[in-house]
Amino acid sequence: MKAEVDANLCQGHARCWDICPEVFELDEEGHGFVSVPEVPAQFEAKTREAADNCPERAIQIF
């Protein structure tokens, strides 16, 4: 599974990082980005939860 943050949609709510810091990080402006090329299996559920909790719906999973 892969995840991606759409930089055009992200408004820096940081819930992704709060929920799953193993997969999401914040850049110096507070915008989320995905720090791993593939989501490790043990973090897939938390990554989905992060996507569901992003108020901007900026996180895509594929």
Q: Any contact of residue 61 with ligand F3S (CB under 6 A)? A: no
Integer-rounded Cα radius of gyration of the chain? 10
CB 22 within 8 A of CB 6: no
37 or 55: whose CB is closer to ligand F3S? Answer: 55
Minimum distance from CB of 41 to ligand F3S (Å)? 22
1-60 positions binding ligand F3S, by CB under 6 A: 5, 10-16, 31-32, 54, 56, 58-59
Q: How many angstroms separate the CA atoms of 43 and 7, rounded?
A: 22
Sign of CA pseudo-dihedral 17, 4, 28, 41: positive
The residue ranges that bind ligand F3S (CB under 6 A) are: 5, 10-16, 31-32, 54, 56, 58-59
